[in-house]
Each structure stands twice: as C-alpha cells, then as structure tokens.
Structure 1
Amino acid sequence: MNNNRMKDFMKKTAPKLAIIACCSILLIILAFNDYYLYNTPIAKIVEIKEDYSTSKQNGVYVEKYYTQDILAVIQNGTYKGEIVRLKNQYTQSGVYDDRFSRGNDVFIEKIENKQTEFTATISGKKRDQYVASAVVILVALLTALAGRKGIFVAASLAFNLVCFYYALTLYEQGINLLALMIPLVISFSILTLYFIGGWSRLTLVSLLSTLATVMIVTFISAVVLHFSDKVDYDFMEYLPQPYEQSSANIIFLSEILIGSLGAVMDIVVTMVSTVKELTQTSAHISSKELIASCRRVGDDILGTMINVMFFTNVASGIPFFLLCLRNEIQFTTIIRYNLFFEIARFLTGGIGIVLAIPISAFLAVYFYRGRKETC
C-alpha cells in the first residue's frame, strides 16, 4: 500500500518538479547572458596576466599591491565582439578593490580604438546574474515545496518590493519618509498575511497584533529619541550631507519601523497559529491554559528570534568591525560611531519580539476563546 502511494505521489509531483527545474535553468542561463539589457558596455574576461607591483605600509601592516593585464571580449553595444585590453590593480586585503578572474564580466568605460587594439578602463564588476540566480532558486524552492502558497509568498515579496521602490521615489520628491513608511507597513502586513493565509480570522488577528506591536515599538523609539541627547548621525550610512537633525531622526525611525516588521510578524503568526490549533484540537481548553501554552511556546522561540534579529542587524558590520580593529581603532570608538545604529536597530527589534508574544497571545485568546466564554 505504501509503495503504491509513493508511486502515485511521484507520478503527480515528478512532472511538476521537472517543469520547475527546466524553467529555473532557463532563467539562470538568461540571467548570465542579459548583456542586451544594458546600455553600459560589458566585457567578459578571457585572459589575465598578473604581476606583483609593490608594497606599502598601511598602519602596522604591509599591504601588497598587484597589477593585472586583462584581455576581454566586449559583449554589447557598438563594439560588440571586439577584444579590449584592460588594466586593474588590487590589494592583498581586497577591501576597496577587486581581483578579477577569467570568465568574470566587468563594466567598462572610456573605450579607445588605438591603431593595434581597443583599450578601456574598468568601472565595476557585473554581479546581477548571481542575485538573479539566487532569486530564481528561492522562487523555485518555494514553488516546489509549498506549491500555490509558495507562489503567493513570492508574489507578495515582489509586490512589496515594488511598493517600497515607489515609496522611495515619492520620498525623493519631498514627501515625509515616516508618513510614507506608516501606510507602507500596513500594506506590507496586509498583503503578506493575506497571501500566506487568505482572509481569515487568523489573518485578522495576526494583522492586529503585528500593527499594535510595531506601533508600540516605534512610539517607544520616538520617545527615547525626543528625550535623549542629540544623536550624532555623521556615521549613518547613505545619509545625505549636510543633514538636519529632525530629518535624520525620521529616517532612523523609518528604519526601525521597517526593520522590526519581519521578526514581529513571524512571532505573531506563530503565536496565533498555536492558539488556533489548540482551540481546534481541545474544544474545552480554558483561556488560562491557552495563555500558559502560549507562554511556553514564546519561551521556546524567544531566544532564537532575538539571535536572528542580532545577526540580521549586526552581522553585516562584522567585516568593517574587523577592519577597524586591524587598524588599531579602539573598540569603544567602533561601537559609538560605526555600529551604533545596527545595535540600536537590534535592541528595538528585540523589544518588538518580546512585546509581540504577550500582545499576540492575548489577542488570539480573546478572539478564539475569550469571546466564546463571555457569550
């Protein structure tokens, strides 16, 4: 009986998996050959000669420099198919430069047609094919493992990205960023929860819990910023200079608003789903027993989710942190000026995770059990 079920399962799923695999491979191939989409000339490296150049004292360390003499084939534009000679210099540490290899695609500029050969300069490395491949693999796995729900998750992610892009374009036109982020967070929450669970009581309770938690976290952050000393935003990444303190505060609050949403939503859905399953399997379970169960579930997931928030916000600064330590910059200086905003986002996100557990638990118990007991 089990063998027959397995055969039936394979007959139904094998064609779907084959179609998904073929489509994914095709899209990845297209991503690695999308030169026609660019107006900027792109060249594929076919030959490299590399030599040691010099060494320079960099603080307490000696930095070695290397030069690369590169031959590449132009892949698009007016000079498509022509061989171009390029020069590149890179350091052993590779902090501010790239070491190129055969087969790499690079953006080029200042193309000159000399008597014997074409020459140009490298303006950057083309990496979009790797990002596109990762996206294709993610969508393929979602579709293969979760079916229609996986497609809805991918669709919600794509729609959220489009909304986020248009919100940023409106900000460039002078609209207050925080005023844009508030409706954006509401739409993110509605669309994500709707695509995942449809329109149901679980979606409604999860939405209310998510918005309530994020609102409280943002309010706490705004109060702290208002009554604390002036925050030095000089080291905040991508902040236009010179800046106004109020504008920088709004940008930072917007980061907190968006940054805490994902983790809070995850906690909320877990807690609400727990209450839903308990009320469906145990019809006579009381509200106190539900609260106790939610507390145990919250204790189990609290540590892992806070660590996820830590790695999400702080881990991106580890390379820069190590670079600063290598150049003998004091630990307190790094924390104060370079990692302050990552740590602040982590702490506010952690507060959101902690608050999401009781808020979602009490709202879920009220909607799934409390209303029945009061009737």
Structure 2
Amino acid sequence: MNVVLDAAQLVSRIQAWGQELAFSQIGVAGVDLSAAEPGLLAWLSAGCHGDMAYMAAHGLKRARPTELVPGTLSVITARMDYLPRATPEGWQSIEFERLDRPQEAVISMYARGRDYHKVLRNRLQTLSERIAATIGPFGHRVFTDSAPVLEVELASRSGIGWRGKHTLALHREAGSMFFLGEICVDLALPPTEATSEHCGNCTACIDVCPTQAITGAQRVDARRCISYLTIEHAGAIPLELRPLMGNRIYGCDDCQLICPWNKFAQRSPLPDFDERAGLSGAALVELFSWSEAEFLRRTEGNAIRRIGHERWLRNIAVALGNALRARHDERALRALQARADHPSKLVREHVAWALSQTHNPLRSP
C-alpha cells in the first residue's frame, strides 16, 4: 500500500530502514558535482589512474550522476562498517606487526570476509524495495564500487564522511574502515548536512605510505599504490616497487592503520565480514602452493577471487622474494623453484625475480 510522506519524512524512514539492514549511516546528496570535475580531469590527465582504462573512458560521467542514470534527482548514500566482530583492542598495532614477519602473508582487512559488493548490493536493493513498497514504483539504480560514481564526493556531501588526505572517506565516529554504496533515485529528496574536514595538519597517512603513492593531500597516484598494483594492475609489477611491497599480497592498509581517527573504527554486526580461515596469518609458502582449483574454492564469494590465480601467484612471488632478501628460507626457495616453469610468463618472470633476491649477508641492502 502506498503511503503519502513528505520528502523529509521519507528520508527519516529510509534512514531507519537502513539501520535495520545493518547500514551504519544513510545520507542524501544532490546531483551537481561540477565542483569536483577539475580535480578529476587533472588526475586523469596526469595518468594517475594507471591502466584502469575504464576511468578515462568514463571521464566526467563519474561526476555527473544524471548522465550515468538519466532522471536521477538525488543520490542516497550508505556507509557500512566492516571490521570483523571479533576484532581485538589494539588491532592497528596487531596489523602493523604482521608487516614485521616477512614469511606471513598480509591481506587487506576488508578482503578477509565475504565480498562486500555482494553484501552491500543485496542490502541496498532490499532498501530500494522497502521504499517502493511504501511510496510505489520509482526509478532507481544501486551501486557499490561498481560504476563510474564519485563515491567519496557523494559521501562527503551527504555527511557520511570527509575526504581524508589518503582520499578515503573519514568519519569522526567510525574512522575509515567502512564500505560505501549508493542508490541513484528519481526522487527529489532533501540533502543531509555535509560534514567538515578534520585532518588538520596531520600527515601520518602520507608519511607512512610504503611507496609514497600519496603525492599530496587528497591525491593518490594509483601507479604507485600497493592496492592498485596487487589488485587492479594486470601486468608486471615495476621492479623498483617490488621491494617496497614487503609481504602485502592483496591490498594495503597502512594509511588506514596509522590514521588516528581509526581508533574509533566500528565492528560490523554481520558475520559476513568475519575473517575466513587461511586469509589471516597464513604463511606465504602455504598460499603459494594453492592450485587454481583450490584458489577458486578458497576464495568463493570473496573479493580476492576477482584477481584470478595468475595475479595471486604473481603477488605472492614478490612477497616471497622480499622474504628471501631478509633471510635464507629453504621452504620459500623450494616453493618458488616449483613454480619456475609455470605456464604463465607473468608468473615465471616474478618467480625468477624472487629467486634472485636470495639472502646474501655480503650483499648491500
């Protein structure tokens, strides 16, 4: 049955439904993002998107929701916290300590549970259905990091968080350990209040970046970013960046781990984001031994699956090379040698590089 609500009442109702669906926050943004266009164009012109050609192909459509979804009058924004339920106190220090154990594989925290695309998309669709059940059919489209949308821009305009110097959205009561999602709607809804910035003079995220990918406040060169290199980049990892990757095999959390605001990061109430066995604290040699079938089985329903087995081996080979540079390890050597004749040229090249890093106390660092 359709219910007559004014726009403000509808937003309040949507926010309540969002809370029931485990969203941490729901906001509303307008569709005029023209102020963000010069920065987007400058970033693309500088080639900072690397080989993510789709970003250049979409161009300014990312800043124009009405071109992406004709008829859009408002964008409903959503935040969902993702720290696992069992995350201990002092988790930031615990995660940093992993980087000091070269033989341990480090996977970004967001990717240790169920694929967030699936979780958010399903719940945003359910939210859309609740709106339709109340007001009747309406035009809408759901997004979760799945289309040319300026997510952080929309998030900041709607009060979800401000853009940190690492370019991620930050919230005073939730840090940055959350996912973003949007629903473009053909409803004229009142925007929720934008949030102000609270980074101040802090440059912790810029200073800690292993590859110096954060080239300035709110500007990241993806070509140097470990998250990009291990996930989005399909080819060979630049030689000069391999030693800087350490044991990070999927993503990088350093800029978030160091951020003071993440002492307020929230744990998710959903079991979806609980860590899967084998994706936290595993040895590099163990993960490197996975066949393609085992990789697909272990990563079913997980975001890691999208990079495929070839890139998985590429990434781990680099980490094993870095571990070998730190100290001699027979297990690592044997694991690499077993992949030396891998059918993939990409894997073979990274394995060869890794074997060349064998620890030699007489060699200069």
Instruction: Specify the TM-score bucket, using the shorter chain as the normaliser.
Output: under 0.3
Q: Which has the higher contact order (CA 8 A, sep 6+)?
A: 2
Higher helix share: 1
Higher strand share: 1
TM-score by length of 1: 0.24
- Structure with bigger gyration radius: 1
TM-score by length of 2: 0.25
